[in-house]
Structure 1
């Protein structure tokens, strides 16, 4: 996660938890007070500039979105995983300006990943 360092943070305890739509809906209702499906929910446990958190991702929604956006499942999953980390370091997506800024940063991180690894290898 060179990008985390580039942004002035250290990587601490970062956990990805892959779940079903229903599980993420239940989490969304309980903790966010939202009654709708989503692809990701991030819980921030940062300690100053050390990134700590849990990132819950609905594999079912990621799969559907990969078809919707015409990208591979792995590409969409990588984007969502990066998206969660960006939330942990202060990015938000509540309005169009924030979404564009966040999407641009996602693109930078994904490009860097592909330059280093040549492909999505998970």
Structure 2
């Protein structure tokens, strides 16, 4: 199951389309999922999580917490809508494209992809691009 939660005034208009896309990302990696929760929030909400759980005192666009679940991929993906909007402006891309990139990024972390080294970051970017293209593929 894929659920969307809103701790800000933002909401996704077509949750079913986004949920289907996320499902196809996971299936494209030959994995199954049990529960994914996307929590859309503002900078302060995500900063508090970063401070409380990761001992980081910085703003970020996304934090992913995997669950231990033997039946499939599971986790919470927290996304700061403020950061996504700012990143979209900084990168000169449309907001929803940047949102899809960040959402795919969180799912890819749950699938085992990292971004700590330069090589991992390059692979992550390629995977993000690949998975964003799945959004427009009809199931």
Question: Structure 1-normalised TM-score?
Answer: 0.90
Matched, 1:23 2:45: yes
Aligned length: 117
Normalised TM-score (structure 2):
0.79
**Where do 5+ consecutive residues of structure 2 fail to align?**
1-22
User: Aligned equivalents of 2:126 and 2:138: distance in 1?
Assistant: 19
Shift of 1:46: 4.2
| Partner SS for 1:92 | coil
Counterpart CA distance in 2 for 1:3 and 1:18 is 19
Deviations 1:26-57 (A, max 9, x none): 10011111111000000101423611110000
Query: For the aligned residues, what is the CA RMSD?
Result: 1.4
**Number of the residue aligned with 1:56:** 78
- Residue 24 of structure 1: CA displacement? 0.5
Counterpart in 1 of 2:15? none
**1:90 corresponds to which residue?**
112
User: SS state of the match for residue 39, structure 2?
Assistant: strand
Q: Is the 8 A contact 2:33 2:74 kept in 1?
A: yes
After TM superposition, the runs of 4+ consecutive aligned structure 1 residues lying more than 6 A away are none
Q: Superposition pairs for residues 35-50 of structure 1, below 5 Å?
A: 35-48=57-70, 50=72
